[in-house]
Amino acid sequence: MLPGRVDSHCHIEQPEANGSVHEESFVTASTSAFAGGTTSVVCFTQQFKGGVLDMHHAYRGRAATGILGVALHQIISDPPIRC
């Protein structure tokens, strides 16, 4: 038996800086993905002003509501500067 496909560019339930969230939920996305043979996704997590891992951890919680394997691609927009 072969594993399912991986969708490597997803914006499922992705929060935006203006406070909006992409409409597709992990529940609906996983249902439709499984129907088409996709079992894993790579989603983008944005970093807003502040901590690098804050959004990553929050997004991990959202992803846990679905039934897909999820990998996260962190977008770094406000890197911590160390001297």
Predicted confidence (pLDDT) per residue in 19-67, tens digit: 898 889 999 999 999 888 999 999 988 877 777 777 888 889 999 999 9
Domain ranges of the chain: 5-75
- For residue 19, the model assigns a pLDDT of 85
Contacts 24+ apart (CB under 8 A), 55-64: 55/15, 58/15, 59/13, 59/14, 59/15, 62/13, 62/26, 63/12, 63/13, 63/26, 64/26
Calculate Rg over the CA atoms of the chain.
Answer: 14
- For residue 7, the model assigns a pLDDT of 92
Asked whether the whole model's pTM tops 0.85, one would answer no
- For residue 1, the model assigns a pLDDT of 44
- For residue 69, the model assigns a pLDDT of 92
- For residue 70, the model assigns a pLDDT of 93
